[in-house]
Amino acid sequence: MKRIFLLLVVIVAASAVTPVFAQSSGEFRSDVKGPPYPWTNLNFSNEPGTLRFAIVSDRAGWPRAGVLERAVDVLNRLQPEFVISIGDQADTPDDETSVPEFDREHNFLDGIVGKLTMPYFYVAGNHDIYNALAARQYHKRRGRPYYSFVYKNVLFLVLCTEDPPPDQISTRQIAYIQKTLRANPSVRWTFVFLHRPWFSPKEKNHTIWKKMESMLSDRPHTVFAGHWHHYEPYTKNGRKYIVLATTGGDIRRKAPQDTIFDEIVWVTLREKGKEPAITNLTLKGMLPWDFRTPISLDEKDNRQKRNPKERTPERKTKAAPKQGSPPRQSTSRK
Ligand SMILES: [Fe+2]
């Protein structure tokens, strides 16, 4: 009897210091006893098959200093599983004929994207492969300009619109696309990346795309392109085809102002999802935790009225990092 009494004392004492988890589910525990509960449900969005990746867009053509650097900083905080570009991230003038210039710009790009804490996939644009010399140099440095990979049973097909440069596709690449699609018939989604938006009738090589469109028609897919430096979404055969805006590239464009912005694109394909969710995250809206607004004029006036001798302290807005390619003199295009 004495032993039972002692045991009860121990249990009561332990329960006084250990929280009672009235609700638990997987990794979740709470001391809230209910119902009612101060939450809607415990269906956490943590399916292991869910895929989250980000895309960065054009930086070339008079890049604005610090924009891609800011995108890298934001991405390291958001933690997509990987980042893929849409081409034209190195600011090599497309009339350049020197290997040192190519390497200088690509070294500079690598210095920025090397800070990412997740993989970064290269896509070739017309500023990367602008002539035969650049094509050779690109191949030497980055490997194949068109390639594919499968991750979480999703096919990523990276095309090269400068094969050979400019603005062409080789029969070899078309054969590669056919072969790759045939080899991956049962992936749950296919994402295609190409720099020039050949899928738009505005592109002079629109006819090139028609063949690829028919190859993709029997599978769920989404296509991303860049090059125009303004945002333009299309729907083709019920699928999304998107021309992305910029991530630091030239914005002196004749396009509606609200389609010109710096962005990263966030793509989520849920394990049980039927359609990827695509969100444009404008860099203007992605503020660091320690962001401060400058003190408002009203607040300043009120403080000075209350105490005219008080000198209102000014807060400082955090400035964008002052980095960027050295300025160059050539006239840039897309
Ligand atoms: Fe381009």
Ligand 1 center from residue 52 Cα (angstroms): 26
Ligand 1 center from residue 173 Cα (angstroms): 19
As a whole number, mean pLDDT of residues 230-241 equals 96
pLDDT in tens, 96-142: 778 888 999 999 999 999 999 999 999 999 999 999 999 999 999 99
Ligand 1 center from residue 139 Cα (angstroms): 18
Q: Which domains does the chain have, with CATH numbers?
A: 51-285 (3.60.21.10)
Q: What is the pLDDT of residue 309?
A: 66
At which residue do the structure tokens 């996939």 appear? 121
Predicted confidence (pLDDT) at residue 47 exceeds the cutoff of 50: yes
As a whole number, mean pLDDT of residues 47-64 equals 95
- Mean of the per-residue pLDDT values for the chain? 86
As a whole number, mean pLDDT of residues 269-275 equals 87
Label residue 333 by pLDDT band (50, 70, 90). very low
Q: What is the pLDDT of residue 327?
A: 43
Cβ count near 175 (within 10 Å):
10
Residue list, CB under 5 A from ion ligand 1: 88, 125-126, 227, 334
Ligand 1 center from residue 86 Cα (angstroms): 9
Ligand 1 center from residue 50 Cα (angstroms): 31
Ligand 1 center from residue 247 Cα (angstroms): 12
Ligand 1 center from residue 228 Cα (angstroms): 7
Ligand 1 center from residue 276 Cα (angstroms): 26
Label residue 15 by pLDDT band (50, 70, 90). very low
Label residue 4 by pLDDT band (50, 70, 90). low
Ligand 1 center from residue 193 Cα (angstroms): 13
pLDDT in tens, 140-184: 999 999 999 999 999 999 999 999 999 999 999 999 999 999 999
Ligand 1 center from residue 167 Cα (angstroms): 10
Q: What is the pLDDT of residue 252?
A: 82
